[in-house]
Amino acid sequence: MRAMAEQLVFYGSYPFVRHALVVGVLIALCSSLLGVILVLKRFSFLGDGLSHVAFGAMSLAAVLGLTDDMPLTLGITILCAVFLLRSGPNAKIKGDAAIAMLSVGALAIGYLLMNLFSASVNLSGDVCSTLFGSTSILTLSQREVWMCAGLSLVVVLFYLLFYHKIFALTFDEDFAKTTGIYVEAYHLLIAVIIAVVIVLAMQLVGSLLISALILFPAISAMRVFRNFRAVTICAAVLSVICALGGMLLSILIGTPVGSTIVMVDLLVFLAFSAIEYVRGGALR
Amino acid sequence: MAQLICQNLAIGYEGRPVLQELNFEVCAGDYLCIVGENGSGKSTLMKTILGLQHPFSGSVQMGDGLKKNEIGYLPQQTSLQKDFPASVQEIVLSGCQGRCGLRPFYHKAEKQRAADAMEKLQISHLAKRCYRMLSGGQQQRVLLARALCATKKMLLLDEPVSGLDPNVSMQLYELIQKLHKEDGVTILMISHDMEAAMTYATHILHLGRQQFFGPKTVYQQEFPQAFLGAGSKGGGVR
Ligand SMILES: Nc1ncnc2c1ncn2[C@@H]1O[C@H](COP(=O)(O)OP(=O)(O)O)[C@@H](O)[C@H]1O
Ligand SMILES: [Mg+2]
């Protein structure tokens, strides 16, 4: 126990570790907020598809030899998000197929690009870390840390300022429209936010595990709480705790950051499901 | 002057018209029942009036000081809402969105308005409860309270009693009647229930192969066939 604490203090003395922790918490916070919207709007699929697009875009950036891959990845992902969300709600089936094609296509193209053009000796290692995020959070540059922190704060601010509108239009889009909310404008904004969060979350857990980071806290919260505000707050708190716990754990026992965080998320989800089950039994 | 005027309206989906040459108007204080068989375009008409979809041709005009976002709407139940974690209060308050504009938070006045609406529909004691745990009748009252938050002038109700048992339906009809009589709210209601239509409505709009619009009494004379099935339960329109 003592040794563990000492080890944590030792790691904590490095600025890059502290940065990683702060950024990780911020990213987890906005992922969970977004997750509430995606789950309730039945957009879960979209997050998954876009994370593959982000992978493709990142490979492209790597092949082009860009030192800072974030702007390109962000741009491409935002474009795809806007495209998918526009064709989404109106044409349900077409939307699903479009997401599937885009996501698998991007995955294939990304891997192909890396295979063909990568100068790296450790190709499978590169691919693996883009997909599962291994250590990337610890290797963020100062600039990337600021960028992540800034974008996260923008997402959180957006959520706070438009909280009631988000509720209205997730609960009942048609009614929201009749009260004069510009639903299309918000869809566009949400599309941009989704893309931003996915690119951020990719830094933390890698592209394959993003969905877990986004969806688990929201689904766990929905097991136990029965109103929108409680679900939102609970999801945010859970996500932050899980991310922090996961990151510390991964430092201590030397496991990959992304999968450790997701594992903690999963455990919490199981715990909350158990609570719901027990409570349901008591009610019956 | 009429609150709502529809002229030569043609409506439908993706270039395929559902209804054509629709003409009617609704004045303040009217109680219009829209009847017609399933698929005759009743819901589509409501969505067009609300501006949720565009008419192919013709026009929907508001008059008498009624603004587009001053119409309260009670939609036909959608599946999306079934497992939504939302408390009654949150839902009713969301009816006040039209008054907020871009303001991020609700003022006292809006919270009071929501409280009044819940009081009126006798659901104040349910304020903290989860919407999806309520009975069908209670859920409809919540949505009605939300619609009431959006307006004091006109309510559009799409099959408000579908799926409710006769007793609860009766109570809901009486509540709607109270809003109409005591608060002077104009009502447009879609209903399959001929008996209720005849009891409460002042005007009837019949959609289908034969269209009719006019006062209830005229409808009774011109459309006796509509009442053949009205005695039996359900009261579907032929
Ligand atoms: N979203 C839609 N897209 C295409 N056609 C639709 C859609 N919704 C309804 N329809 C069609 O429009 C017609 C009228 O539907 P609707 O207005 O819901 O009828 P009602 O409410 O009178 O039962 C029906 O034939 C239905 O099949
Ligand atoms: Mg209908």
SS (H, E, C) B155-221: EEEECCCCCCCHHHHHHHHHHHHHHHHHHCCEEEEECCCHHHHHHHCCEEEECCCCCEEEEHHHHHH
**pLDDT, tens digit (0-9, with 9 covering 90-100), for B106-142:** 999 999 999 999 999 999 999 999 998 899 899 999 9
Residue spans of the domains in chain A: they are 2-277
- Is pLDDT of A282 > 80? no
Whether B38 is in the pocket of ligand 1, judged by its Cβ within 6 Å, is: yes
Average pLDDT on A62-69 reads 78
In this prediction, residue A135 carries a pLDDT of 60
A2-277 adopts what CATH topology?
Answer: ABC transporter involved in vitamin B12 uptake, BtuC (1.10.3470)
Residue B41 Cα to ligand 1 middle (Å): 6
Burial B62-84 (b: 16+ CB within 10 A, else e): beeebeebbbbbbbebeeebeeb
- Is pLDDT of B235 > 50? no
In this prediction, residue A99 carries a pLDDT of 81
At B177, which amino acid appears? Q
More confident residue, A263 or A131: A263
Tokens at A82, concatenated: 């806007």
In this prediction, residue A66 carries a pLDDT of 77
Quick one: closest CA in B to A222, which residue? Answer: B85
Residue B159 Cα to ligand 2 middle (Å): 7
Q: Is A164–B47 a contact, with Cβ atoms under 8 angstroms apart?
A: no
Whether B78 is in the pocket of ligand 1, judged by its Cβ within 6 Å, is: no
**pLDDT, tens digit (0-9, with 9 covering 90-100), for B54-86:** 999 999 999 888 888 889 999 987 655 667 899
Assign B234 a pLDDT band (cuts: 50, 70, 90).
very low
| pTM, rounded to two decimals | 0.89
Q: How many CB atoms lie within 10 A of CB A45?
A: 17
Assign A121 a pLDDT band (cuts: 50, 70, 90).
low
In this prediction, residue A119 carries a pLDDT of 66
Assign B18 a pLDDT band (cuts: 50, 70, 90).
very high
Measured between its terminal Cα atoms, the distance across chain A in Å is: 43
Average pLDDT on A211-223 reads 93
Q: Is A168–B94 a contact, with Cβ atoms under 8 angstroms apart?
A: yes
Q: How far is A230 from chain B (nearest CA, A)?
A: 9
| Nearest protein CA to atom 1 of ligand 1, as residue | B13
Assign B171 a pLDDT band (cuts: 50, 70, 90).
very high
Ligand 1 atom nearest residue B44's Cα: 17
Whether B43 is in the pocket of ligand 1, judged by its Cβ within 6 Å, is: yes
Percent of chain A with pLDDT over 90: 37
SS (H, E, C) B39-80: CCCHHHHHHHHHCCCCCCEEEEEECCCCCHHHEEEECCCCHH
- Is pLDDT of B47 > 60? yes
Instruction: Name which of A184, A226, A39 is nearest B91 in CA terms.
Output: A226
Of A178, A233, A283, which to mutate for an interface test with B (greatest number of B Cβ within 10 Å)? A178
Decide if B197 touches A, using CB distance below 8 A.
no
In this prediction, residue A271 carries a pLDDT of 96
